[in-house]
Amino acid sequence: MKEMTKKTAVVAMAGIMAAGMLTGCGEKKLDGSKTVATVDGTEIPLGVVSLSVRDGQMQTEAMYRSYMGGSDFDIWDTEAEKGKTYGEQLVEQALEDVELMYIMKEKAADYDVELTDDDEKAIEEAAASFMEANSDEAIADLAVTEDQVKTFLELETYKQRIHDPIIADVDKDVSDEEAQQSSFSYVSISTADLSDDEIKQKKEDAQKIQDELTKDPEGDFDEIAKSVDDSYSSLEGTFDANDTSDDEDSENEDSEEDSSTSSSTYPDEVIKVLRTLDDGEVAPDVIETDTAYYVVKLNQKNDEEATETKKESIISTREQDLYTETTDKWMEDADIKEEKKVLKTLKVTDNHKYNQPTATPEPTEEAADTTEDTEVTETPEADATETPEVTEAASATTTPEATEAASATTTPEATEAPSYSTDTSLTVKDGDTVNIDYVGKIDGTAFDRGSTDGKGTDLVIGSGSYIDNFEDQLVGAHPGDEVEVTVTFPDDYGVDELNGKEAVFDVTVNGIYE
């Protein structure tokens, strides 16, 4: 079973790259045979880096389309930092990623990682399928040979295989005190960008909810909120039961582990009050923050299920830290020489687009026929180049745009969209397809391209299409609900303004497909 899983992972990577790689108006023709860098004496051809760049370009463009309701966007020619565009950043990052993969191949034997004969055969077949599925024009634009495709797939496989051995020795002992989570229910009424009169009305609404909940703490919090205004709804949240701020201050917050146990998701004013309550107790007053009014009720001081989830999160953070520390050290110690002039010939611009194919577990002939012009929306979290587990998920998980119905059409937009239900008695569950609108904000300010602009977009709950934990926070909502979703963008998200940032999305659930 283990070997079958590994083989599937290798082939799935080729599926991501295998078809639909159609070029736009390219610049000067690349010479993929040129050496773009050497790592410990091993030459890296430009063609291998080109594959990595275009894969990253497709993933990013697909992700943005998912956030923008299917609309295209222009970003690559935008200046990301002084004298450097986002496209140039992507190229530089891709080269660094490939350099690390070459190092991982060197280190593989130290971790008892190897490619089997079955792996090599799968890679060879996948590379051949890739070359056959793409037009001569696309291959020329990529400046890649079949041998370079095989090299790229081999490197990706080593990267996947070596991940778990690197983190195998991480400390998995997490104390209950460190991880203990409390759970609560709350209604948040935003006051951002409102006039004084509007804010006054919101405060009165919050007080009405507060008074009713105080009278009947066991009552239906959501019904109480909606009795004041249909747009209000109760939400569930968790926070660190133990205040670790003093410990963090004394240690100067010198570890990611410390930051992973903070309660920064919710305002300090809210957490401070919640820590004074007992199970089932309602806060004595409406809590006012700079941007909202909160009515809160503590459900459990010690939520065992949430605590176990937190333990897993802490361990995951430790694993990521160890992985990053190890690979960063490898890069520092390696003898790397880069050919900047060669690298500059590889460009990512707004007038040079690549379409992403539908991800399939295996690159069959049927898949090549049906996915040539079909795009799939995925995010980096569902990227097939992360870890073996993520690869399997990516190969099997698609968004509504890549359903069987859509695969029979030229583009996802050509699919006749079924209507969703606005029945408020329905509840969002894992596996449901919902239609949502959202506006994303960082530090209370809406950020560029972080909104559907009221156009609505479909999302499969549990698909992993959006940032981690985004979809989970919609479970339990009803059509018409407005849900405040708090997420943290990955450090390597690919957009400087968003990398590692916490964002709050005001999400409206338009409806649920039945």
Share of the chain above pLDDT 70, in %: 75
pLDDT 10s digits, 33-61: 999 999 999 999 999 999 999 988 887 88
Rg (CA), the chain: 25
The model's pLDDT over 82-103, given as tens digits with 9 standing for 90+, comes to 789 999 999 999 999 999 999 9
Q: Does an H or E element contain 433, and which?
A: strand 433-442
Asked whether the beta carbons of 298 and 266 are under 8 A apart, the reply is no
- Can you list the alpha helix ranges (DSSP code H) found in 108-145? 117-133, 136-142
For the domain made up of 417-512, the CATH class stated in words is alpha beta
Rounded CA gap, 221 and 472, in Å?
20
pTM for the full predicted model: 0.63
Give yes or no for a contact between 72 and 24, defined as CB atoms under 8 angstroms apart: no
pLDDT at 25 over 90: no
> Residue 296 in 3-state DSSP?
strand
pLDDT band at 155 (very low <50, low <70, confident <90, very high): very high
Q: Are 283 and 277 in contact (CB under 8 A)?
A: yes
| Model confidence pLDDT, tens digit, residues 284-313 | 999 999 999 999 999 999 999 999 989 988
Spatial separation of the C-alpha atoms in residues 455 and 488, rounded to whole Å: 24
Going by the DSSP 8-state scheme, the letter that residue 334 receives in this structure is S
Candidates 292, 310, 311, 287; CA nearest to 238 is 310
**Which residues of the chain does CATH 3.10.50.40 include?**
417-512
What pLDDT sits at residue 59? Answer: 79
**Segment among 185-199, 309-323, 332-346, 494-508 with least mean pLDDT:** 494-508
CA 374 to chain centre: 22
What is the CATH architecture assignment of 181-301? Roll (3.10)
pLDDT over threshold 60, residue 402 = no
Strand order across the 35-39 sheet = 42-45, 35-39, 336-338
Q: What secondary structure, in 3-state letters, does 155-182 show?
A: HHHHHHHHHHHHHCCCCCCCCHHHHCEE
